[in-house]
Structure 1
Amino acid sequence: MTSSKDLKKELRAQALSRRDALDPFWRIEAALEMAETARDAIAVEPGAIVAGFWPMRTEVDVRPALFALREKGARLCLPAILDRTTIAFRELVRGAPMVEMAFGTVGPHAEAAVLDPSVLLVPLAAFDARGHRIGYGAGYYDRAISKLHGNGLRPRLIGVAFDCQKVERVPEEDHDVVLDEILTESGLRRFANAG
């Protein structure tokens, strides 16, 4: 019998293979469409803290969406990998220094303010119609979200992916965090089980 971990690994590989096969120019257009959707569909109060991520490999480039939300008054932050298990969300300020992080990504310098996001744009490898996600296997986001929850904070969790990353069903594990919504090139959709 296939373990949950093995099945996730297989689903991750299949979804990433589909994502990798997307035309690079189409991915740019899709990211710009998603930015317009984010601008129109994600309500943020001035000063609200929105966490995004610096795209790696063939991920959706969420920077246009982040900048659209900044135009609405949001403060932005990006994850910074602190060690093998922990990320913190550091403020992204125009002109501030950026540093290389693990996995070929970059983030704000160590002197940047650490913020607790009220909206969290979550990267993922695969997702299903229930809001369950498969990350990249390191568990950084599951632990970061669990820590926010432990501190009494409930950020709005919006997965960001292409439609081709959807799978039939993600195997569930106790530590998994369920998304509230998913932003794809088809729009922003709320999951039925979201609170």
Structure 2
Amino acid sequence: MMDVSASDDLARRKAALREAALAHRDALEIDDRLIWDEAIAGRVLALPVFDDAQGSVSAYWPMRSEADPRPILEALHERGVRLCLPAIIDKRMLFRRWAPYEPIVPGGFGTLVPDPAQPQVAPAILIVPLAAFDRRGYRIGYGKGHFDAKLTELGPVISMGIAYAAQEIAAVPDEPHDRRLDWIVTEREIIRCG
């Protein structure tokens, strides 16, 4: 069991890493990011996990300078894959059905989410955002722990982070509740973590 002072120190380290990682990502040139988003999409769509995807695939609506999963979602939709996007309701993450060009609405914290009238679904594959990552598959997100909690709740699902290669760090400080991703895909490579 981790003592309180060690836990507080780890939380401070993660917060400092998050702040630096987000500033670093925000400083990347938008023209480069647009090119890299296409390269990431190509790599993700070539993964065999999507060849006969059973169940829904979840991604996220990008905000700030996040890697943009929309080209991936559009291509998967054209392949007939069911899609969904996350929403936070009463401090819990859930997923609602969504397809390209369907309405999205403000969801809090600067996010956009499917219309609340859309049905909830349980995804089989999750594409998640990140601020920083390491080669073990650990990530730093925005610090609320929603994706880690949902990955634990969903059980055996495929989890994939998409990011720019510049977001890699040597080691993300991990805690027992942190969930390691199965894959991380950047514009340069596919990293199999799990």
TM-score by length of 2: 0.90
Matched, 1:116 2:118: no
Alignment partners' CA distance in 1, 2:78 and 2:185? 19
Instruction: Mark the runs of 5 or more structure 1 residues left unpaired by the alignment.
Output: none
Shift of 1:105: 1.6
For 1:64, give the aligned amino acid.
Answer: P
- Matching residue's letter, 1:185: E
Query: Alpha-carbon deviation of 1:47?
Result: 5.3
Q: How does 1:54-133 map to 2 (within 5 A)?
A: 54-83=61-90, 85-133=91-139
Q: SS at 2:175's partner residue?
A: coil
Q: Which runs of 5+ in 2 are unaligned?
A: 1-5
**SS in structure 1 opposite 2:126?**
strand
Cα distance in structure 1, aligned partners of 2:136 and 2:71 = 27
Check whether the contact 1:91–1:113 (CA below 8 A) recurs between aligned residues: yes
Residue 190 of structure 1 is matched in structure 2 by: 192
1:22 maps onto 2:28 in alignment: yes
Gap change, CA 1:42 and 1:100, over 3 Å in 2: farther
Give the whole-Å Cα distance in 2 for the aligned partners of 1:147 and 1:113.
Answer: 19
TM-score (norm 1): 0.89
Please tell me whether residue 138 in structure 1 is matched to residue 144 in structure 2: yes
- Counterpart Cα distance in 2 of 1:46 and 1:4: 37
Measured after TM superposition, the shift of residue 187 of structure 1 is 2.7
- Report the Cα offset of residue 74 of structure 1: 1.2
**Contact 2:163/2:184 (<8 A) preserved:** yes
2:25, 2:65 within 8 Å by CA — same for their partners in 1? yes
Once the two structures are superposed, what CA deviation does each residue of 1:8-64 show, in whole Å capped at 9, x if it has no partner?
111112211211111111111111111111221243225531100000101011100
Q: After TM superposition, give the deviation of residue 95 of structure 1 in Å.
A: 4.7
Match of 1:173 in 2: 175
- Which deviations, in whole Å up to 9, do the C-alpha atoms of 1:88-144 show, x marking residues without a partner? 111113453321111212111111121111110011111111111111111111111
**Cα distance, 1:70 vs. partner?**
2.0
Classify the secondary structure of the residue corresponding to 1:130.
Answer: coil
Residue 160 (structure 1) aligned with residue 162 (structure 2): yes
1:152-194: per-residue Cα shift (whole Å, max 9, x none)? Answer: xx11010111111111111121110111110111132201xx1
What is the aligned counterpart of 1:5 among 11, 15, 20? 11
2:100 and 2:28 map into 1 onto residues whose CA distance is: 30
* 2:135–2:191 Cα contact (<8 Å) kept: no
Which runs of structure 1 show a deviation greater than 4 angstroms over 4 or more consecutive aligned residues?
none
